[in-house]
Amino acid sequence: MKNRSLFLTLAAVVALSLPSPDARAQASADSLGPCIAVRVADSDAADLRCGRELVRVRLRNVAAPRSGQVGYTEAVRALAELLRARELFVAFEDPERPERDPSGRLLAYLSDRGGANLNVVFVLLGWASYSADTGAGRFEKSFRAAEQDARAERRALWTVWSVSAEHAPGR
């Protein structure tokens, strides 16, 4: 219970104080929402309900543990907690041409009503690392700063990943 309280407190603080102003993904005409998370499908993917539509998204520029890897179950739980009970907005790297992953999920940045980029927050909390597999993205500096901070503070999965670099996703 103490760990959950600590996580919730840290998540709230992080969401309000992101590493740089460009880490904010403002809700705009180019974004979809408000949405709510109905299911976390993987350590970096969720199903959202946006009005009557079910939207399947994968967090862009996020590399979280895969099924069978160290930390997978914890990362899934952490993502569920991060998205729970929030109004979510979905934004794309290029709003004119939304991209999909090989599973058909939209590659997206999720933000909350306050504009906090939840993809960056997830990395900052230490549940994933930054990935440029789909391109560096417009929030590259924020992702890199978030990952560096999570590593330095040995947050969440970085306590395990620091023991063996082969466990870090995207490595």
Query: Model confidence over 126-167: pLDDT tens digits?
Result: 999 999 999 999 999 999 999 999 999 999 999 875 544 444
**Number of folded domains that form the chain:** 1
Tell whether the model's pLDDT for residue 31 goes beyond 90. no
Distance (Å, rounded) from C-alpha 71 to C-alpha 158?
Answer: 10
Distance (Å, rounded) from C-alpha 44 to C-alpha 138?
Answer: 19
Q: Which domain holds residue 56?
A: 2-167
Query: Model confidence over 66-114: pLDDT tens digits?
Result: 999 999 999 999 999 999 999 999 999 999 999 999 999 999 999 999 9
- Residue 38 · residue 47 · CB < 8 Å: yes
User: In the prediction, which pLDDT does 15 show?
Assistant: 44
Distance (Å, rounded) from C-alpha 128 to C-alpha 62?
Answer: 6
User: In the prediction, which pLDDT does 109 show?
Assistant: 98
State residue 154 phi and psi, 5-degree precision: 50, 50
Domain containing 99 — which CATH number?
Answer: 2.40.50.90
